[in-house]
Structure 1
Amino acid sequence: MNRHTRNNTESGSEDRGRWANKREYILVVAGNVVGLGNMWRFPYLCYKNGGGAFLVPYSILAVVCGIPLFLLETVIGQYTQEGMVTCWGKICPLAKGIGYGHLLIKLYDFIYIVIQAWALLYLIFSFQAELPWANCGNTWNTANCIDSQNWDSQSANRTENQTMVTNTTSAATEFWERRALAISGGIEELGSVRWDLALCLLFCWVFCYFSIWKGVRSSGKVVYFTATFPYVMLLILLIRGLTLPGAWEGIKYYLYPDIGHMADLEVWVEAGSQIMFSYSLATGTLIVLGSYNENNNNCYKDSFLLCLLNSGTSFVAGFVVFSILGFMAQKQGVPVDMVVDSGPGLAFVTYPQAMAMMPLPQFWSVCFFLMLILLSVDTQFVTVECFVTSLSDLFPRLLRPTGRREIFVLVVCLASFLIQLSLVTEGGIYVFQLIDYYGCNRACADIMALFECLAVGWIFGIDQFYNIAEDMTGQRPCFFFRLCWRYFVPLWSLRHNFPQYLLILLEISPSLGGRHPSVWAWG
């Protein structure tokens, strides 16, 4: 009887499960780390911070921070065979608060399922005979609307008559703001629930439930499709993007290095935040996924391959994004940097507008939004699975017996859906942005990474951790990782967040007289 089975027998609970094979683990982790951040966030940061010059700090920080933290968390999970909270009881009981911090971050991360709901609504509209964001003949359009056929000619007049186009909006923008979201005047005006978005949100939660209700036995099977099919869509969009007129101007803008940006600390900070975001670091996810591995799995090799896959996907996605943006720039007669927008603006305004200008717009729209949904599906159900697993490990007698897991997952999904109805109201976008900015910001991940490295590198003992990794994988981590875990990552986290840590201390210490309502805005 192995250690994992013996612990479950002693606690009187059902076995927590394992991956059926190595392939399932790789696909689930790949599906989790390869997501929306690769498709829009990485290319946007690249263009914003000097094009190809951004790749230099990104690559350096991937080696110094990304891969070491990825390996650190995977080893912790695989060694302890526990969730993100209980694992610290075996490594460093003093650091158990890190796990509770991860749980809180996971709750905030639940909100990103609303992006699936938005994409699903767009996917449904993509099957219409004429795309509704391609023309201005709809009930929600205003007199200032310009359809996709006339947008390029109107934009060409921008330099001749700036006043004429100041108050105009594209049909894609009006569909996003006035039809899909029906945005209200502010967060204080939540308004009514958008029933079509609510149904899309319900469908997304139902799919999430049936993806994880049996634990890794179900989620490990779902990823055979959800983790691989987005790459097919990405390849189709890449081929199409490279054949568009103006595509190479966009790619040139993407790759052309502006060396002056490398001296800007903010560029390095944003490169580091992208590594943390896209690698799913310091959120507890990698700990939980690694805990389902066999104890002798070579996670050392896995970590290198998965990090390479993630960064490689980001790089390729940049070609897809900027080929389309180059096409848009040529059609509108403007520079590439006037077309790009980050976040929802890129995924739900710029892309739909570009698709509407192409031949067979319905086909390209279906491809894009199907890819967008599948990219976010894996990340979402892994997020919920990690939350459920960690609570089950905290209360094994209560939550692990046969049948109780399914009920607990149902309660989590149903409660989350009901709470998130506020996200699909007319003011829901403001609620989403509020949680996204304050609850899931860069400082949260950096603080978690700092304490993880302090707990392992200085309290548990780096030599003991090296021995654990060697016993499991047969390979002893190189000396470079010792430097990263004990010095580089903690110092990097402190360097650009020290002002924020100071403000937090002022906020929670009234005796110091600090009252800063926007203390988290530094993130």
Structure 2
Amino acid sequence: MADSLCRLDHLPPKATSQAVDQRGKWGSKKEFILSAAGAIIGLGNVWRFPYLCYKNGGGAFLIPYILFLGACGIPLFILEISLGQYTSQGGIMCWRKICPLFEGMGYASQLIVFYGCISYIVILAWAFLYLFSSFSGELPWATCNNTWNSGSCVVLNNFNATVNWTLPVNASSSVSEFWQRRVLNISTGIEVLGNIQWELSLCLLLAWIICYFCVWKGVRSTGKAAYVTATFPFIMLTVLFIRGMTLPGAFHGIKYYLYPNPDRLADPQVWIDAGTQIFYSYAICLGCLTTLGSYNKYNNNCYRDCFCLCLLNSGTSIISGFAIFSVLGYMSQKQGVNISLVADSGPGLVFIVYPQAVTLLPWPQVWSVCFFTMIILLGIDGQFIGLESIMTSLSDVYPSQIRKGFRRELLLMLICASGYVFGLLLVCQGGAYILQIFDHYVCSGPTLLLLAIFQSVVIGWIYGADRFYDNIKDMIGYKPLALIKYCWLYGTPLICSGTLLFLLLRYTPLRFNNSYVYPWWAYCFGWFLAMSSLMMIPVTMVWKLAHVKGNLWQRLKMSSKPACDNPVVTKEMTSMSTSLHFLEGGQDGKL
């Protein structure tokens, strides 16, 4: 069996059994598929892809999207899932076994995931507040009779679509005021942090508690939670799709969504948007996929699973566009305005446009509850899979310290508690400004593109694409499509390098709502967040080289060898095998 020391199967039978029991495995194939689907199908499918498709040429946008998917998305997706399954290790230890010199990629990805958990969960707090507000006699964002409304508040539904009308000067809709003045209660800038909003802080606490109990027992709880969190959003999306397609004006919205405009393909920004969407929605380069794959059985057909999951992800993005734009078409017809005035992306779509849309429907409270329940479950999936990735990586690095007794649960509680404390800054009146810095710099295109380049180079050129192909064949019984190998070698690093160069050349300073300019220290904070993760790669390299004997070239060669070829790492793994064998009851300690 190829390179057996790179995975747990090199242990003696009893020790192998104990190692698997301590670490855990998926209870069934369904748990892996649902957990992986929950990790990659999230808010980006609902609030980002449909708008990008509409903005960048409709159906023509699918051309660069599919090209990036085939050249970067699918190859990296297969790489990460297969790497986790082959090594039976999470996002850090998998690189120590494959190429110890680049172990820092694992630390970088887990730090990015931790930053993302702190910021991403705030969206869930907003969604919980909208969900609780939906259980009222009248939706609070449908009127201007609330304490937070200003004198210039207007209810858009009161206008007659058959009459030409324009909003009064300085007027703001009731939905926008609920978002800006009630939910965010936003301050004038990041310099004015303001007070913590207690209702949002309680919603944030609720979100963290739910995530904790989804992860606290490892894959035993994560897999079971995925049965609900991964399936219910599909049910809700189907319901919204059917309801949207039956609304008047729905096909008017679908036309704007998919009508092809080939001229847009000449704009380089369209291709950049397609590439960044692939990285954004497929959760690649974050270590989460490696973690999920590491709990598979060794002979699981991960190659086939990856294609099914990729098809499911992109299919969900396209279907969600029908659900969203059918409602937007109804809104534009109902209000008598062009669809470009109601189409939006990101939080604006979820917390302004769609709440406005449900006020136009019969039984608006029912549709509001359905929509925000779907948003919460889409977000919860990604959040607790991120937490599971962090816990798995730490447990793999320090198994004897974390897996004993209740230490894992206590460490998870500490991580959740620290995440909640940091998150309180994001639910202050100035928290929205900080949240955008996290979103722009932490999981930014340049950061993920650099990690993608490193991953493909390490597997393709240092460890060896042919060697990794043999590893996959050893697991699934046949070699994958040869095109995947050439993507690791040439396609992915070249395309990602070109995209990264273009992003750096087109760099513009971050602005809030395209108007507010951040102070200089806010940009410094953002770059610190980005560099603090990437710096883990060179720092770990220096540390690895310092602990190997020989000249620089000899150190580089030794540090780049996988565990199965590295006598230093092999000795450590053999020692671990002996210890586990003694724990299991072995008398002679021989392997």
TM-score (norm 1): 0.93
Partner SS, residue 22 of structure 2: coil
TM-aligned CA deviation for residue 341 of structure 1: 1.6
CA distance, structure 2, for counterparts of residue 319 and residue 431 of structure 1 = 32
Q: Is the contact between residue 437 and residue 526 of structure 2 (CA under 8 Å) also seen in structure 1?
A: no
Range that drifts further, 180-189 or 305-314: 180-189
| Structure 2 letter corresponding to 1:21 | S
1:262 aligns with 265
Return 5+ residue gaps in structure 2 as ranges.
Answer: 1-6, 508-522, 531-591
Partner SS, residue 248 of structure 2: coil
| Structure 2 letter corresponding to 1:319 | F
| Cα gap change, 1:438 to 1:265, in 2 (>3 Å) | same
TM-aligned CA deviation for residue 479 of structure 1: 1.4
Structure 2 residue 41 is the aligned partner of structure 1 residue 38: no
Q: Is the contact between residue 65 and residue 275 of structure 2 (CA under 8 Å) also seen in structure 1?
A: yes
Structure 2 residue 302 is the aligned partner of structure 1 residue 296: no
CA distance, structure 2, for counterparts of residue 361 and residue 336 of structure 1 = 21
| Structure 1 letter corresponding to 2:25 | R
How many residues align? The count is 506
Structure 2 residue 313 is the aligned partner of structure 1 residue 306: no
TM-aligned CA deviation for residue 151 of structure 1: 4.6
User: What are the superposed Cα offsets for residues 80-116 of structure 1, whole Å, 9 maximum, x if unpaired?
Assistant: 1111111111111111111111012111211101111
Q: Is the contact between residue 155 and residue 334 of structure 1 (CA under 8 Å) also seen in structure 2?
A: no
1:55 aligns with 62
1:411 aligns with 414
Task: From 96, 99, 115, give the equivalent of 2:103.
Answer: 96
CA distance, structure 2, for counterparts of residue 244 and residue 426 of structure 1 = 38
TM-aligned CA deviation for residue 4 of structure 1: 7.7
User: What are the superposed Cα offsets for residues 293-346 of structure 1, whole Å, 9 maximum, x if unpaired?
Assistant: 011110010000000000000010000110011111112222111211211111
Q: Is the contact between residue 11 and residue 397 of structure 1 (CA under 8 Å) also seen in structure 2?
A: no
| Cα gap change, 1:7 to 1:74, in 2 (>3 Å) | farther
Q: Is the contact between residue 500 and residue 519 of structure 1 (CA under 8 Å) also seen in structure 2?
A: no
Q: Is the contact between residue 47 and residue 347 of structure 2 (CA under 8 Å) also seen in structure 1?
A: no
| Structure 1 letter corresponding to 2:81 | T
Task: From 210, 214, 233, give the equivalent of 1:211.
Answer: 214
| Structure 2 letter corresponding to 1:366 | V
Matches within 5 A, 1:62-461: 62-110=69-117, 111-151=119-159, 156-158=164-166, 165-461=168-464
2:25 aligns with 18
CA distance, structure 2, for counterparts of residue 502 and residue 360 of structure 1 = 49
Task: From 6, 9, 13, give the equivalent of 1:3.
Answer: 9
Q: Is the contact between residue 201 and residue 417 of structure 1 (CA under 8 Å) also seen in structure 2?
A: yes
CA distance, structure 2, for counterparts of residue 451 and residue 258 of structure 1 = 35
Sequence identity, in percent? 51
CA distance, structure 2, for counterparts of residue 2 and residue 448 of structure 1 = 26
Q: Is the contact between residue 90 and residue 294 of structure 2 (CA under 8 Å) also seen in structure 1?
A: yes
| Structure 1 letter corresponding to 2:125 | A
CA distance, structure 2, for counterparts of residue 375 and residue 7 of structure 1 = 40
1:473 aligns with 476
| Structure 1 letter corresponding to 2:9 | R
CA distance, structure 2, for counterparts of residue 223 and residue 156 of structure 1 = 49
CA distance, structure 1, for counterparts of residue 11 and residue 43 of structure 2 = 37
User: What are the superposed Cα offsets for residues 262-314 of structure 1, whole Å, 9 maximum, x if unpaired?
Assistant: 12221111111111111111111111110000111100100000000000000
| Structure 1 letter corresponding to 2:157 | Q
User: What are the superposed Cα offsets for residues 393-448 of structure 1, whole Å, 9 maximum, x if unpaired?
Assistant: 11112111121111111111111101110111111111111110111111111111
Return 5+ residue gaps in structure 1 as ranges.
Answer: 159-163, 505-515
| Structure 2 letter corresponding to 1:336 | I
Q: Is the contact between residue 112 and residue 286 of structure 2 (CA under 8 Å) also seen in structure 1?
A: yes
Partner SS, residue 82 of structure 1: coil
Q: Is the contact between residue 61 and residue 275 of structure 1 (CA under 8 Å) also seen in structure 2?
A: yes
Q: Is the contact between residue 300 and residue 475 of structure 2 (CA under 8 Å) also seen in structure 1?
A: yes
Q: Is the contact between residue 11 and residue 396 of structure 1 (CA under 8 Å) also seen in structure 2?
A: no
Larger radius of gyration: 2
Q: Is the contact between residue 503 and residue 519 of structure 1 (CA under 8 Å) also seen in structure 2?
A: no
TM-aligned CA deviation for residue 519 of structure 1: 9.6
Q: Is the contact between residue 276 and residue 445 of structure 1 (CA under 8 Å) also seen in structure 2?
A: yes
Q: Is the contact between residue 35 and residue 376 of structure 1 (CA under 8 Å) also seen in structure 2?
A: yes
| Structure 1 letter corresponding to 2:349 | L
Q: Is the contact between residue 162 and residue 336 of structure 2 (CA under 8 Å) also seen in structure 1?
A: no
TM-aligned CA deviation for residue 475 of structure 1: 1.9
Partner SS, residue 141 of structure 2: coil
CA distance, structure 2, for counterparts of residue 112 and residue 330 of structure 1 = 34
TM-aligned CA deviation for residue 35 of structure 1: 0.8
CA distance, structure 1, for counterparts of residue 282 and residue 132 of structure 2 = 31
CA distance, structure 1, for counterparts of residue 151 and residue 505 of structure 2 = 50
Partner SS, residue 133 of structure 1: helix
Q: Is the contact between residue 154 and residue 165 of structure 1 (CA under 8 Å) also seen in structure 2?
A: no
TM-aligned CA deviation for residue 254 of structure 1: 0.6
User: What are the superposed Cα offsets for residues 348-382 of structure 1, whole Å, 9 maximum, x if unpaired?
Assistant: 00100110111100000001000000111111000
| Cα gap change, 1:8 to 1:228, in 2 (>3 Å) | farther
CA distance, structure 1, for counterparts of residue 348 and residue 159 of structure 2 = 17
| Cα gap change, 1:348 to 1:96, in 2 (>3 Å) | same
| Cα gap change, 1:248 to 1:5, in 2 (>3 Å) | farther
TM-aligned CA deviation for residue 458 of structure 1: 0.3
| Structure 2 letter corresponding to 1:96 | E
User: What are the superposed Cα offsets for residues 454-476 of structure 1, whole Å, 9 maximum, x if unpaired?
Assistant: 00000001111010000001120
Q: Is the contact between residue 249 and residue 326 of structure 1 (CA under 8 Å) also seen in structure 2?
A: yes
| Structure 2 letter corresponding to 1:373 | I
| Structure 2 letter corresponding to 1:298 | N
Q: Is the contact between residue 217 and residue 409 of structure 2 (CA under 8 Å) also seen in structure 1?
A: yes
Q: Is the contact between residue 4 and residue 81 of structure 1 (CA under 8 Å) also seen in structure 2?
A: no
Q: Is the contact between residue 155 and residue 332 of structure 1 (CA under 8 Å) also seen in structure 2?
A: no
- Root-mean-square deviation (CA), in Å? 2.3
CA distance, structure 2, for counterparts of residue 43 and residue 151 of structure 1 = 27
